[in-house]
Amino acid sequence: GELYNILGWGEPYFTVNSKGHLCAKPHGRETTPGQEIDVHSVIEEVLAGTTNDNKKVQFPMILRFPDVLKVRLNSLHAAFKDAIATTGYRNRYQGVYPIKVNQNKDVIQDLVRFGHDESYGLEAGSKPELLVAMGCLAKAKPGAYLVCNGYKDADFIALALSARAMGLNCIIVLEMEEELDIVVEQSAKLGVEPAIGIRAKLLTKIPGHFGSTAGKRGKFGLLEEKIYGVAERLREMGKLHWLTMLHFHIGSMIPTTEIVRKAVGEAVGIYCNLVSRYGAPMTVLDCGGGLGVDYDGTRSGDSDMSVAYGLEEYACSVVEAARLRCDRSGVTHPVLCTESGRAMVTHHSMIIVEALSAIPEPPEDETCDQLMSKIKDLSSKQPRMAANGGAGLYSHAAELQKQGIEMYKLAKKMCKRVTSDANTIYNYHMNLSVFSLVADYWGVGQLFPMMPVSRLDERPTLRGTLVDITCDSDGKIDKFIGGGDTVPLHPLDPERGAYYVAVLLSGSYQEALACKHNLFSDPTLVRVEGGSGDGAFKVVSVEMGPTTEEIIGTMRFDVREDIARAVEELAKKNNLWVNVEPLMAKGLTTMPYLNEYKVPKTT
Ligand code: PLP
């Protein structure tokens, strides 16, 4: 475990047990050693069974630990409660989960259920997300926020107004001034009064990849003066009572609490002006996302992979900055909302991939034989040169020296080659597609902790890269947390069973961003809950991704006509007969990755 810095990024959710197996700690800090979930045992149990619809389980799989989601959400609420109590803040925290971060049904429904007592709500950034949010919030506590962000057309706004009419606390956040006209129009048409928020485009920026969201040239929101313009317009229309929320989002992975404080301070300044100058009946400050995750476990905050704080420090910074600025202006403390996505869901799931083979990378330069023959060639020249007699002793000496250096270099290379097993890089072919499992690795260079699931009591002797089974040269993982271009792995040993590698901290964004490269399907989803007895766990569900037919169908093929019939024709032309009917009746088998897909029998 130490080798992989599990204490750095994994505490208090992951550990290694006495068998040398990776374990999940479903209750975080509260997990007793007996409650640790042995990941290797989970995989074996899953493989021994079938999926919910009785199919053979296939790799890769995502293991979901809903207990971890619960701990994360509870920790967020506890952090804000503590910060509010210790700073004497006179209002509450009421957050929302941004659906875009992981849109899976289980994840959203679990979070809404776990957050029920805290009136935890949802954030939607598009019409489909709004529909999902409406469905999932039907069981939430009345008053839970449904925050609508993103660009909105008349349909989006009409849907949001309908949600409000149905009793959901739906707030339409204006990203552009023009959206106000649509809200006014749709509100009149439907006879529903909206609740409005305005997204502030702050000047506070974060460095690095995620920084482009904010600043004057940021894509979203209104600059301070424009915000006052909207308040002015609302006042003129006699609709100032619509305005209840100020929202901002300066980007994901805010690296330090200093930036958190600065952003909150800037936003609360605008909030206070809306209250004191315009008399807007504001009640909520929504600080957006950005609460980070320490992927590399360094707590340094000096890269996109690390943040220099935890939930507690983040909550304290938000609460204190809001209190200070409001007290200075004599404005009532607002309800504090955040749209923390990554920090809620990153830890709760891990991707499990299986090693198919490990192949040493061929050395880049000459082979041993080539080096040997060069050395021989150089040595054979010497007697000839010596035979040249006294002809230019000086140049002879210089030539000899040059050859000496050359021989020395070659000999050194030879030595290195002999001792190079430790330097050889092994390409581990894994049953995975980088594009559909860890899209952020490929897209934005996001790094994830990766480690074997078993044999952690045995020193891994090889340096491995993870190569996927797509035909794309980008489908390779050769950058790892800590900066290495390889990860320590064990030699594959069929006698000891399959070799699994876990990709951890992969619960946010990856499933949402997955691409259909090579028409691979989605991974198998496994829901694992902690049990009560020693080492007990419960595999609650095992669901396979879309069938091959469904995946091909998303590319607008009619699988029956365009593929099955065409294949049938082709067979006929070659005097073969393919019976596609049984195949079509069953639907093409799910074959997300490599599997024993059977070619239809020809007779
Ligand atoms: N809110 C908005 C408006 C966003 O665009 C995002 C994502 O970028 C989030 C919330 C979630 O951010 P994070 O996952 O960093 O908490």
The pLDDT of residue 580: 66
Cα 371 to ligand 1 centroid, rounded to whole Å:
56
Give the DSSP letter of residue 416: H
Cα 127 to ligand 1 centroid, rounded to whole Å:
17
Query: Mean pLDDT throughout 547-573?
Result: 84
Cα 121 to ligand 1 centroid, rounded to whole Å:
14
Ligand 1 pocket test, pick from 249, 304, 446 with the greatest ligand atom count within 8 Å of Cβ, gives 249
Q: Which tens digit of pLDDT belongs to each residue from 516-535?
A: 778 888 899 999 999 877 66
Q: How confident is the model at residue 582 (pLDDT cuts 50, 70, 90)?
A: low
pLDDT at 283 over 90: yes
CA pair distance 62, 507, nearest whole angstrom: 9
Atom of ligand 1 nearest to the CA of 247: 3
How many CB atoms sit inside 10 A of residue 99's CB?
25
List the Cα angle 13/17/20 in 5-degree steps: 120
Secondary structure (H, E, C), 112-132: HHHCHHHCCEEEECCHHHHHH
Contact 338, 289 (CB under 8 A): yes
Cα 88 to ligand 1 centroid, rounded to whole Å:
28
Q: Which tens digit of pLDDT belongs to each residue from 65-123?
A: 999 999 999 999 999 999 999 999 999 999 999 999 999 999 999 999 999 999 999 99
The pLDDT of residue 519: 80
The pLDDT of residue 590: 45
Ligand 1 pocket test, pick from 72, 73, 76, 100 with the greatest ligand atom count within 8 Å of Cβ, gives 100
Question: Which one of 206-215, 290-299, 428-437 scores highest in mean pLDDT?
Answer: 290-299
Q: Is the CB of 288 under 6 A from ligand 1?
A: yes
| Average predicted confidence (pLDDT) for the chain | 88
Q: Which tens digit of pLDDT belongs to each residue from 23-44?
A: 999 999 999 989 999 999 999 9
Atom of ligand 1 nearest to the CA of 509: 14
Q: Is the CB of 290 under 6 A from ligand 1?
A: yes
Q: Which tens digit of pLDDT belongs to each residue from 468-514?
A: 888 888 899 999 998 999 999 999 999 999 999 999 999 999 888 88
The pLDDT of residue 591: 41
Cα 103 to ligand 1 centroid, rounded to whole Å:
13
Strands (E) located in 494-598: 500-503, 524-530, 537-543
What are the extents of the domains in the chain?
1-63+346-361+424-545, 90-340, 368-422, 546-603
The pLDDT of residue 593: 41
- Topology of domain 90-340, per CATH? TIM Barrel (3.20.20)
Q: Is the CB of 339 under 6 A from ligand 1?
A: yes
User: Angle, nearest 10°, between helix axes 105-114 and 66-87?
Assistant: 40
Q: Are strands 61-64 and 462-467 parallel, antiparallel or unpaired?
A: unpaired
CA distance readout (Å), 481 to 11, 72, 508: 16, 23, 17
Q: Which tens digit of pLDDT belongs to each residue from 351-408?
A: 999 999 999 987 666 666 776 777 677 666 654 544 444 444 555 667 767 777 777 7
Q: Is the CB of 199 under 6 A from ligand 1?
A: no
The pLDDT of residue 395: 58
Q: Give the residue, by CA position, lying nearest to ligand 1 atom 4.
A: 289
CA pair distance 571, 573, nearest whole angstrom: 5
Cα 289 to ligand 1 centroid, rounded to whole Å:
4
CA pair distance 314, 76, nearest whole angstrom: 9
Say what the pTM is. Answer: 0.87
Cα 313 to ligand 1 centroid, rounded to whole Å:
19
Atom of ligand 1 nearest to the CA of 125: 3
Whether residue 60 is preceded by a cis peptide bond, meaning omega within 30 degrees of 0, is: yes
Q: Give the residue, by CA position, lying nearest to ligand 1 atom 8.
A: 252
Q: Is the CB of 337 under 6 A from ligand 1?
A: no
Ligand 1 pocket test, pick from 72, 73, 99, 101 with the greatest ligand atom count within 8 Å of Cβ, gives 101
Q: Is the CB of 213 under 6 A from ligand 1?
A: no
CATH 3.65.10.10 fits 1-63+346-361+424-545, yes or no: no
Cα 287 to ligand 1 centroid, rounded to whole Å:
10
Cα 98 to ligand 1 centroid, rounded to whole Å:
6
In sequence order, what are the beta bridge partners of 122? 97, 146
Q: Give the residue, by CA position, lying nearest to ligand 1 atom 10.
A: 289
List the Cα angle 337/339/342 in 5-degree steps: 140
Instruction: Name residue 400's amino acid.
Output: L
Instruction: Name residue 355's amino acid.
Output: A
Atom of ligand 1 nearest to the CA of 252: 15
The pLDDT of residue 602: 42
Ligand 1 pocket test, pick from 130, 304, 337, 339 with the greatest ligand atom count within 8 Å of Cβ, gives 339
pLDDT at 427 over 50: yes
| First-to-final CA distance of the chain | 55
Q: How confident is the model at residue 234 (pLDDT cuts 50, 70, 90)?
A: very high
CA dihedral 438, 444, 445, 446 (to 10 degrees): -60
Q: Is the CB of 468 under 6 A from ligand 1?
A: no
Q: With CA atoms as reference, report the closest residue to 225 among 277, 299, 300, 165.
A: 277
Q: Which tens digit of pLDDT belongs to each residue from 138-192?
A: 989 999 999 999 999 999 999 999 999 999 999 999 999 999 999 999 999 999 9
Q: Which residues are catalytic?
A: 471
Comparing 211-225, 335-349, 514-528, the range with the smallest average pLDDT is 211-225
Atom of ligand 1 nearest to the CA of 251: 8
Q: Is the CB of 341 under 6 A from ligand 1?
A: yes
